[in-house]
A and B are shown apart, each in its own frame.
Chain A
Amino acid sequence: MMGMSRAGLAERWTLFAGALLSVTLGVALVQSSLLLLITAALLDPPAGASAAERMEFADGTAAAVSMLGVVLGGAVFLAGFIISSTFAFTVDQRRRDLALLRLVGGSRGQLRRLLLGEAVTLGALGAMLGVPAGLAVMRLQGWLMREFGFVPQSFAGEWRQWILGVSFGTGILLAVAGVLVAARRASRVRPLEALRETGPAARVMTWSRALIGLIFLGGALALMIVAPFGGPAGGMAMAMNVPIPAAVAVVAFAPLLVPLIARLVPFRAPGGLARANLSDARRRSASVAAPLIVLVALVVGNVGAGASFTTSGIHQLATQTHADLVVESTGPPGPTNPPSPSTGTPSADTPGAASFSDIPGVASVSVETRVPAEVTTGSGEDRETETISLLVIDPVAYAKTHDDSASLAGLNGREVAAGPGGDVPGAGGTVRLTVPDRDLGDLPVVAGVPATMTGGANLLVPPGLLSAAELKDAPTQSFVTLTKDADAAATRASLARFGTVTTLDDRLRADAEAANSTNEKIMLIVLGLGGLYALIGVINSIVIGAATRRREFAEARVTGMTRGQVVRSALLEAYAITVSALILGGVASAATFIAVLSTTKSVTGTGTLDLPWTQIGAVTAIALVVTTATTLITSLSATRPQPVTQLRAA
Chain B
Amino acid sequence: MTTMTMTGAAVALQGISRVYGRGPAAVRAVDDVTLQFPRGGWTAVMGPSGSGKSTLLHCAAGLERVDSGRVLIGDTDITAAGDSQLTSLRRTRIGFVFQSFNLIGSLTAEQNVALPLRLAGRRPSRAEVRATLDTVGLADRARHKPRELSGGQQQRVAIARAMVTRPEVLFADEPTGALDSRAARTVLDLLRAMADAGQSIVMVTHDPGAAARADSVVFLGDGRVVDQLTGASTRAVADRLATWER
Q: Which residues of A contact B (CB under 8 A)?
A: 1, 3-4, 7-8, 10-12, 97, 100-108, 110, 190-192, 194-195, 197, 645, 648-650
Given contacts A7-B104, A103-B102, 4 further A-B contacts (CB under 8 A): A101-B115, A103-B96, A104-B90, A650-B147
Q: Chain A's nearest CB lies how many Å from the CB of B192?
A: 24
Q: Knowing A97-B104, A106-B119 touch, does A7 contact B87 (C-beta < 8 A)?
A: no
Pick the contact of B102: A8, A12, A194 (CB < 8 A): A194
Is there an interface contact between B100 and A110, defined as CB atoms closer than 8 Å?
Answer: no
Q: Chain B's nearest CB lies how many Å from the CB of A628?
A: 30
Is there an interface contact between A7 and B100, defined as CB atoms closer than 8 Å?
Answer: no
Would you give 6 A-B contacts (Cβ < 8 Å), ordered by A? A11-B106, A100-B102, A100-B104, A101-B104, A107-B84, A650-B104
Pick the contact of A195: B98, B103, B111, B119 (CB < 8 A): B98
Is there an interface contact between A12 and B90, defined as CB atoms closer than 8 Å?
Answer: no
Q: How large is the interface on B (under 10, 10 to 19, 20 to 34, 35 or more residues)?
A: 20 to 34
* Chain B residues within 8 Å of A645, by CB: 147
Is there an interface contact between A197 and B106, defined as CB atoms closer than 8 Å?
Answer: no
Is there an interface contact between A650 and B118, defined as CB atoms closer than 8 Å?
Answer: no
Is there an interface contact between B154 and A191, defined as CB atoms closer than 8 Å?
Answer: no
Q: Knowing A197-B100, A650-B105 touch, does A101 contact B119 (C-beta < 8 A)?
A: yes
Q: Chain B's nearest CB lies how many Å from the CB of A636?
A: 21
Of chain A, the residue at the smallest CB distance from B58 is: A192
Of chain A, the residue at the smallest CB distance from B104 is: A100
B83 in the interface (beta carbon within 8 A): yes
* Chain A residues within 8 Å of B161, by CB: 104
Assembled-state Cα–Cα distance A650/B173 (Å): 16
Q: Chain A's nearest CB lies how many Å from the CB of B94?
A: 9
Of chain B, the residue at the smallest CB distance from A104 is: B116
Q: Knowing A104-B90, A191-B63 touch, does A7 contact B119 (C-beta < 8 A)?
A: no
* Chain A residues within 8 Å of B208, by CB: none
Assembled-state Cα–Cα distance A648/B161 (Å): 19
B183 in the interface (beta carbon within 8 A): no
Q: Chain B's nearest CB lies how many Å from the CB of A376?
A: 64
Assembled-state Cα–Cα distance A620/B165 (Å): 57
* Chain B residues within 8 Å of A100, by CB: 102, 104
Pick the contact of A4: B90, B101, B107 (CB < 8 A): B107
Assembled-state Cα–Cα distance A648/B152 (Å): 12
* Chain B residues within 8 Å of A105, by CB: 87-88, 90-92, 116, 119-120, 165
* Chain B residues within 8 Å of A8, by CB: 106
Q: Knowing A3-B118, A7-B107, A192-B58 touch, does A102 contact B102 (C-beta < 8 A)?
A: no
* Chain A residues within 8 Å of B118, by CB: 1, 3-4
Q: Chain A's nearest CB lies how many Å from the CB of B168?
A: 14
* Chain B residues within 8 Å of A106, by CB: 87, 119
B196 in the interface (beta carbon within 8 A): no
Q: Knowing A106-B87, A107-B87 touch, does A3 contact B154 (C-beta < 8 A)?
A: no
B146 in the interface (beta carbon within 8 A): yes
Assembled-state Cα–Cα distance A108/B106 (Å): 21
Q: Chain B's nearest CB lies how many Å from the CB of A163?
A: 36
Is there an interface contact between B119 and A110, defined as CB atoms closer than 8 Å?
Answer: yes
B189 in the interface (beta carbon within 8 A): no
Assembled-state Cα–Cα distance A507/B100 (Å): 78
Of chain B, the residue at the smallest CB distance from A6 is: B106
* Chain A residues within 8 Å of B227, by CB: none
Give 3 closest A-B pairs by Cβ, nearest first.
A11-B106, A105-B91, A649-B147
Which residues B52-104 have CB closer than 8 A to chain A?
58, 63-64, 83-84, 87-88, 90-92, 96, 98, 100-104
Assembled-state Cα–Cα distance A1/B88 (Å): 17
* Chain A residues within 8 Å of B104, by CB: 7, 97, 100-101, 650
Which residues B113-128 have CB closer than 8 A to chain A?
115-116, 118-120
Assembled-state Cα–Cα distance A183/B41 (Å): 40
Q: Chain A's nearest CB lies how many Å from the CB of B109?
A: 11
Of chain B, the residue at the smallest CB distance from A11 is: B106
Q: Knowing A192-B64, A195-B98, A649-B146 touch, does A102 contact B105 (C-beta < 8 A)?
A: no
Q: Knowing A102-B87, A105-B91 touch, does A650 contact B103 (C-beta < 8 A)?
A: yes
Assembled-state Cα–Cα distance A90/B83 (Å): 25
Is there an interface contact between B102 and A3, defined as CB atoms closer than 8 Å?
Answer: no
Is there an interface contact between A195 and B102, defined as CB atoms closer than 8 Å?
Answer: yes
Q: Chain A's nearest CB lies how many Å from the CB of B81?
A: 13
Pick the contact of A3: B91, B96, B100, B111 (CB < 8 A): B111
Is there an interface contact between A650 and B165, defined as CB atoms closer than 8 Å?
Answer: no
Is there an interface contact between B87 and A11, defined as CB atoms closer than 8 Å?
Answer: no
Assembled-state Cα–Cα distance A197/B161 (Å): 20
* Chain A residues within 8 Å of B116, by CB: 104-105
* Chain A residues within 8 Å of B146, by CB: 649-650
Q: Knowing A8-B106, A194-B102 touch, does A650 contact B154 (C-beta < 8 A)?
A: yes
Of chain B, the residue at the smallest CB distance from A9 is: B106
* Chain A residues within 8 Å of B103, by CB: 650
Q: Chain A's nearest CB lies how many Å from the CB of B101?
A: 5
Of chain B, the residue at the smallest CB distance from A109 is: B84
Is there an interface contact between A104 and B115, defined as CB atoms closer than 8 Å?
Answer: yes
* Chain A residues within 8 Å of B58, by CB: 192
* Chain A residues within 8 Å of B111, by CB: 3-4, 7
Assembled-state Cα–Cα distance A190/B165 (Å): 21
Assembled-state Cα–Cα distance A107/B86 (Å): 9
Q: Chain B's nearest CB lies how many Å from the CB of A14?
A: 13
Of chain B, the residue at the smallest CB distance from A12 is: B106
* Chain A residues within 8 Å of B100, by CB: 195, 197, 650
Assembled-state Cα–Cα distance A270/B136 (Å): 45
* Chain A residues within 8 Å of B106, by CB: 7-8, 10-12
Assembled-state Cα–Cα distance A103/B102 (Å): 10
Q: Chain B's nearest CB lies how many Å from the CB of A10?
A: 7
Q: Chain B's nearest CB lies how many Å from the CB of A91?
A: 16
Pick the contact of A108: B83, B115, B154 (CB < 8 A): B83
Assembled-state Cα–Cα distance A190/B57 (Å): 16
* Chain B residues within 8 Å of A12, by CB: 106
Assembled-state Cα–Cα distance A266/B140 (Å): 55
Pick the contact of B90: A103, A108, A190, A197 (CB < 8 A): A103
* Chain B residues within 8 Å of A11, by CB: 105-106
Assembled-state Cα–Cα distance A192/B86 (Å): 13
Assembled-state Cα–Cα distance A645/B148 (Å): 10
